[in-house]
Chain A
Amino acid sequence: MNETTNTGVKTAPPAKPHLQVIQARPHPHRCWSCGDMRAEHFCGECGHVQPAEPTDFFSFFGLPRQLELDEEKLERNFYTLSRKLHPDVYSRASEREQQWSLEKTSQLNDAYRTLKDPISRTEYLLMLEGIQLEEQSKIATEQARAFGTEKKQTVPAELLEEAFELNMLLEEAKMGGVDEDVRAQLITTRENLTARLNTMQEELRAAWKQWDSGDSEATAAMVDVLNRRSYLRNLLRDINDVLSSLA
């Protein structure tokens, strides 16, 4: 087992399951070429599956740790590897090979799922780089409530005014005083915020380009976009909750 640990992982409080999923350790010999890393998964001679090694998801696909990525090619690779590694192919093989196939395929699926989505790909890369994102999920909110503490959450400056107005609106809605006017305002706000979400996508892509060209400072920009995005998504979720409770 590789002893490298992820610096981005906080130690869990007493008996509390960790919220941060540690999905992989960096591979000892990271491959930066798009070359034939796939030979690692099965023997080039006989095609048999090889034991699963701890690896990061980029290395698993023989990819450099970059964020701009040919998603169609990734899908093709995923299908090619699935055809060779899937437990269906090994259902009559030895128990050992069945186990390897199971482990390899779960790695393959975890890797593909993480890399194909732009947001999870970015989050994963930041995690590999040891960078912690703000926990703004609903779970964090619930947990903060359970602990009786305030959830750490920075309101992005650009959203301050809108967030304030929206919260007033939402409070009003929750008190039961929702008229057509409030409803219409909520819908307009939702449209504005959704548009904002799309521009964030562009910002993120810009930061990717920076990172891919070797600028390690780009991680700060990515963290910023992801935190703002997550805040925005929480606002959208609150709006949707209120609107659907009215329906």
Chain B
Amino acid sequence: MPASFMPSAQELMRFAPEMLLTLAGTLIMLLEPFTESGNKSRLAWLALGALLAALGLTAVSAADPGPAFSNMLLIDEFGTFFRFLVLAVGVLTILISTHYLRSGGHESGEFYALLLFSIVGQCIMATANELIMLFIGLEVSSIASYVLAGYLRDDKRNNESALKYFLLGSFATAFLLYGIAWTYGITGTTDLSLIRSALLNPASRPNEVLTAAASAFLFVGLAFKVSAAPFQMWTPDVYQGAPAPVTAFFSAGPKAAAFAMFLRIVLTGFEPLKKEWEPLLWVSALATMIIGNFAALRQTNVKRLLAYSSISHAGYVLVALTTHSGPGAAAAMFYLAAYCFMNVGAFAIITHVARRDERYVEIADLAGLGTRQPLMAGLLTVFLLSLTGIPLTAGFFGKFYIFKVALDQGFIWLAILGLLNSALAAYYYLRVIVVMYMEPAPEGEGELPAPAAGVLAAAVGSAIATFFLGLFPSSLLDFADKARRIFN
């Protein structure tokens, strides 16, 4: 009997990236007390190395797809896609954060360890095929994120951001759990594939009223996690209050993983209920785009502006989700990849401009950046143009595919309203560019130091990815297209 307790080598290999990251995080914490305070960046290098190795292991495990650990995890192209994405976001976040933490005297091993643990949770969310596993992955990611949001404990903004994130996040988790409990009750299982067959089977098909109740609770929990309307209100406060590199991470990694979870639940387990989910998603997608864009119009703080902009981008992804189709899933995946790179890139520049203690985070503080530091201004312009959706950048193709899918699947009004929204969004992105190039630098402000190597590397890397996806979108789209086949 004990033999069955031992997982096979094949299964362990499929779970290798997560195991490696967990070990690396633990190792970092063990080394922390033995590292002199001036040498903490060695721990950052260790974390970076672990993430790169995990990227390699993800590629290896992608060669041998299949289920692992009694169907808890399903390593398929879809999961691999999101694993690559969250690991890449992790690499960029570490590059951005080292200098930020060191200049404030806050660099320590716990930050990198918690970041790695959070990424472990996101990898699990991307590959889990079972609601309990999914939930544990989500919690690993979220609880590490709550701590990261308040990492600079002496900063009131950080405290507040962490508390709000924690309270609303756990409220959302509790609702999600209630939905999962009901789903378990009416289908008798928590495995997404089995839920699907239970819902399809006419003999065991449960009462619509109960499935609607379960779906409603699940939707509330999921919408909170991807910051979709009407559950988006935590996003601006949390993004504004958290340390800038952590905000860069929040806006990309946890959000991409939450969407991976959302896509998998809606397109596999709950696919038989697509008629019921469609109006819910339709309304939420539209409301998310409108609230995000209109609120962004009147922001003066750059972090808050980008927070609202990230809400509106979640709305575009929801448009793709509303179509409930394979091509829609592929478009959502492409969009999320594009969004992650351009958003993290933008936050890298913001981190650089904000300097110590984040004193310069207003839009007005960007004035004259075009003459003071042309390279940084140019990079930020690239990211903002991509967020607007200008051709040649990744953002253009992302929006193009989403609205094309919406039109193909007959969601004409949603596509038109989405296009109007993205035209509106151009206003506030361009306003930032105008301030950077047209307005003179304010007097009496300290000299803006040269960008740190890590920030520069992250920004240039994101810019390259943004252009690459804008010029050769088919390379990634082919992969996304292969990945979405699992939904048909």
Task: Please indicate whether A and B come from the same complex rather than being unrelated chains.
Answer: no
